[in-house]
Amino acid sequence: MAELGALPRWDMTPVFPSLESTEFRTSFDRATAEIQALVPVFEAHGVRRRERADVDTAVVAAFEEVTGRLNSLSLELRVLRSYIHAFVSTDATNEAAQSLQAEFEAGAVTLEQLRIRYTAWVGTMDVEALVAQSPVAREHEFVLRKSQVQARHQMPEGEEALAAELLPAGLSGWARLHDSVTALLTVPVTVRGEARTLPMSAVRSLANDPDREVRRAAFEAELKAWEGVSVPLAAALNGVKGYQQVVRRRRGYTDDVEPTLLSNNVDRETLEAMQAACIEAFPDFRRYMRAKARALGLERLAWYDVSAPVGKGARTYTWDEAEGFLREQFGQYSDRMAAFADRTFRERWTDAEPRPGKQGGGYCMPVRPGESRIFVNYDGSFNSVSTLAHELGHAYHNLALEHRTALQSRTPSTLAETASIFCETLAVDAALKGTEGEERLALLEASLQRDLMVVVDIHSRFLFEQRVFERRAERELTPREFNELMLQAQRDTYGDGLDPDALHPYMWAVKGHYYGPTFYNYPYTFGLLFGLGLFARYQEAPDGFHAGYDDLLSSTGMADAASLGQRFGIDVRGVEFWRSSLDVIRKTISEFESLVSQLESAGKR
Ligand SMILES: [Zn+2]
């Protein structure tokens, strides 16, 4: 990839000189010792569910000490976790880093048990009295009020401790089974006349191939391979959903969605308003799918056409060009954002170079306060430039949280995508300017492909999971039943946009999300639509937007989504706001449709 210029690897040395350094070891040992030191402190102060809510000066003093120590410990642990992960994720052969990660996670179990006790403790205090007497409590008022609700939903202390201790062997054991089976899965497939055996990930990425025969062959080979491992994966999924349901019921939540609303800082009204607006937009997404079929010269899209490329790929960007482009576009927004992008490039926060042993995908992780590291596999396509913009958005969000405590910065997934979608939209908008014809078509298509995933496919995942929970309450499901529920969820969402005989019954085996947190995906729909809605507000009235926006980002762990939205006149509980965000996508769909027609009639296709 010489034509892209030298791709940076991230510089971790400002944090610690190396994994083997005394500085790292000292910090690691200090954090581990502090976790252990907190155990007697918790005992001495009786940090657990309280029988009486009243608060006196001794309680206030204990509250301030314990909260302060938990906050500083969490910050130190975050640096260590990110630092170790920086090596694990870029070098699969680094066994030392992997052992440290395992050692780190083992220590984290004790801390998790303490955190549960802390929630029970502060959740059973008289919050009004505490806030009146303690400045620390005032700064953490949202966390305290949330803890009150969480504390009502805790099992007795011993049972919560048992659940936390069983987690690695129970819930996460099933997830690791899914990971290992999937990672080791190889698939015999014939590509362009050549019989080969490829890893599942490579077969799945053939979905982007321009040749339909290749996509179809890969799809059929993929389904066959999933069928071969469907028994252990179904056992894993039954295990995960069964575990989650038992714990949820014991915690006294009315249904399986309720705990996720609490952890995402949204209420049911908000989720339902958002989903109603999404369902209303499904016919528009079907228009997009029909137009894409036309662009590909097909009657109707099959599942394996959804990721097919359309149009002529936009120009490629060398690394220097990507830096220049993003610096300029962020500069259109504000000098602060441009200066920030510059800092990340100058201090080499990004690991951009794809190489053997490095994981796939992209993410951004916070390190020290205000400082992040960005992980991408840069290939010069506009897609990877917009991924970089997205991850820089997360880093900008971390900067906004620089002066918050660990407890104040706990941002739920719903709000964690606000800044990333905002920056991604800045980049896409800029790239579209002055682009026409096939190149414009490709850019619009890439953007709509993302929207289709986040709005339509994620809703299918929600329906699937909800129906799985319903049946799982009675008994375990067979692989065939998982398949049937998946097909039904796809029909209910993609509708006639896709060929009903070419759907993907094994998406429950593909997506690791089903083996992780409950209803992992819908917060991303929230994130996309909230980010798009904010961007629309910015375009309507750029003056005075900036300070409010930075303030919002710095408060994502300190208020629920509804109150944060209100600051911008956004009512997340009403369908209207979500509809207006989806209107932005509708506009893109209409433009895509007319561009396809235009290119057709010009005989260019
Ligand atoms: Zn993101």
pLDDT 10s digits, 53-101: 899 999 999 999 999 999 999 999 999 999 999 999 999 889 999 999 9
Task: Give the separation between CA 382 and CA 498, rounded to whole angstroms.
Answer: 27
- For ligand 1, the distance from its centroid to the CA atom of residue 362, given in whole angstroms, is 8
- For ligand 1, the distance from its centroid to the CA atom of residue 489, given in whole angstroms, is 25
pLDDT > 50? residue 204: yes
pLDDT > 60? residue 544: yes
Q: Which of 548, 250, 312, 339 is nearest to 436 (CA)?
A: 312
CB count in 10 Å sphere of residue 23: 11
Residue with tokens 């918790």: 42
- For ligand 1, the distance from its centroid to the CA atom of residue 523, given in whole angstroms, is 11
Radius of gyration of the chain (CA): 25
- For ligand 1, the distance from its centroid to the CA atom of residue 574, given in whole angstroms, is 25
- For ligand 1, the distance from its centroid to the CA atom of residue 525, given in whole angstroms, is 11
Confidence band (pLDDT; 50, 70, 90) for 195? very high
- For ligand 1, the distance from its centroid to the CA atom of residue 527, given in whole angstroms, is 9
Beta bridge partners of 268: none
Task: Give the separation between CA 586 and CA 596, rounded to whole angstroms.
Answer: 15
- For ligand 1, the distance from its centroid to the CA atom of residue 598, given in whole angstroms, is 34
Confidence band (pLDDT; 50, 70, 90) for 176? confident
- For ligand 1, the distance from its centroid to the CA atom of residue 313, given in whole angstroms, is 23
Confidence band (pLDDT; 50, 70, 90) for 108? confident
- For ligand 1, the distance from its centroid to the CA atom of residue 397, given in whole angstroms, is 11
- For ligand 1, the distance from its centroid to the CA atom of residue 452, given in whole angstroms, is 16
Residue with tokens 């939903």: 153
The H helix count followed by the E strand count for the chain is 26, 5
- For ligand 1, the distance from its centroid to the CA atom of residue 423, given in whole angstroms, is 11
- For ligand 1, the distance from its centroid to the CA atom of residue 93, given in whole angstroms, is 27
- For ligand 1, the distance from its centroid to the CA atom of residue 528, given in whole angstroms, is 9
In this predicted structure, what is the pLDDT of residue 1? 47
The token pair at 437 is 């014809």
The token pair at 455 is 């709005």
Residues 514 and 237 sit within 8 Å (Cβ to Cβ): yes
- For ligand 1, the distance from its centroid to the CA atom of residue 416, given in whole angstroms, is 7
Residues 226 and 510 sit within 8 Å (Cβ to Cβ): yes
- For ligand 1, the distance from its centroid to the CA atom of residue 19, given in whole angstroms, is 28
- For ligand 1, the distance from its centroid to the CA atom of residue 361, given in whole angstroms, is 11
- For ligand 1, the distance from its centroid to the CA atom of residue 394, given in whole angstroms, is 7
Please compute the mean of the pLDDT values over residues 218-240 and round it to a whole number: 97
pLDDT digits (tens, 9 = 90+) for 460-509: 999 999 999 999 999 999 999 999 999 999 999 999 999 999 999 999 99
Please compute the mean of the pLDDT values over residues 231-245 and round it to a whole number: 97
**Long-range contacts, stretch 360-364, CB < 8 angstroms, 24+ apart:** 360/201, 362/387, 362/388, 362/390, 362/391, 363/391, 363/394, 364/391, 364/392, 364/394, 364/395, 364/398, 364/420
SS3 label, residue 196? strand
Residue 441 CA, chain-centre distance (Å), reads 27
- Name which of 127-131, 166-170, 260-264 the model is least confident about: 166-170
- One-letter amino acid for residue 262 of the chain: L
Please compute the mean of the pLDDT values over residues 526-554 and round it to a whole number: 93
Residues 391 and 363 sit within 8 Å (Cβ to Cβ): yes
Mean of per-residue pLDDT scores for the chain: 94
Helices (H), 89-229: 95-123, 127-133, 135-139, 141-152, 157-166, 171-184, 200-205, 212-228
- For ligand 1, the distance from its centroid to the CA atom of residue 190, given in whole angstroms, is 35
- For ligand 1, the distance from its centroid to the CA atom of residue 419, given in whole angstroms, is 9
What is the chain's length?
Answer: 605
- For ligand 1, the distance from its centroid to the CA atom of residue 186, given in whole angstroms, is 29
Q: Which of 229, 251, 424 is nearest to 326 (CA)?
A: 424
Residues 553 and 254 sit within 8 Å (Cβ to Cβ): no
Task: Give the separation between CA 114 and CA 165, rounded to whole angstroms.
Answer: 12
- For ligand 1, the distance from its centroid to the CA atom of residue 373, given in whole angstroms, is 13
Task: Give the separation between CA 269 and CA 264, rounded to whole angstroms.
Answer: 13
In this predicted structure, what is the pLDDT of residue 604? 57
pLDDT > 50? residue 542: yes
- For ligand 1, the distance from its centroid to the CA atom of residue 391, given in whole angstroms, is 6
Please compute the mean of the pLDDT values over residues 416-442 and round it to a whole number: 93
The token pair at 540 is 């309507």
- For ligand 1, the distance from its centroid to the CA atom of residue 189, given in whole angstroms, is 33
- For ligand 1, the distance from its centroid to the CA atom of residue 413, given in whole angstroms, is 9
- For ligand 1, the distance from its centroid to the CA atom of residue 420, given in whole angstroms, is 6
- HEC profile for 390-444? HHHHHHHHHHHCCCCCCCCCCCCHHHHCHHHHHHHHHHHHHHHCCCCHHHHHHHH
- For ligand 1, the distance from its centroid to the CA atom of residue 363, given in whole angstroms, is 7
pLDDT digits (tens, 9 = 90+) for 338-370: 999 999 999 999 999 998 888 888 899 999 999
- For ligand 1, the distance from its centroid to the CA atom of residue 151, given in whole angstroms, is 30
Task: Give the separation between CA 259 and CA 277, rounded to whole angstroms.
Answer: 23
- Name which of 15-24, 188-197, 312-321 the model is least confident about: 312-321
- For ligand 1, the distance from its centroid to the CA atom of residue 387, given in whole angstroms, is 9
The token pair at 145 is 């009020």
